[in-house]
Amino acid sequence: MLVRGEYLELEELTNAMRLRASDIQAGVEEYGRRLVLPPNSAYDNIDAIAVVGSSPSAYSIRFRLYTVWSSLWQSVERSPVKYQRD
């Protein structure tokens, strides 16, 4: 939702408990990089912790955001490059 710019939907989903749609959008725009969907392997590293005593159940979640730049960097890291001298 964040990557697709669905800020109003995020606000509604969270009942605007911490941020309004305009705050989320401003934060993304101020960051200055375009967000992209993460690689499937990124979902193996979600940091989710149940909030004790919450009703309904709630979780604290930390997840790395990916940008066009970080995705390109990961592609470069994964592909071996052979250098040749002229």
- The beta-strand segments (E) located in the chain are 35-36, 47-50, 59-62, 66-67
Q: Are strands 59-62 and 66-67 parallel, antiparallel or unpaired?
A: unpaired
* Model confidence, pTM: 0.66
Average pLDDT over residues 35-45: 90
Note whether 3 and 36 are within 8 A (CB).
yes
Average pLDDT over residues 27-35: 90
pLDDT in tens, 7-22: 999 999 988 888 899 9
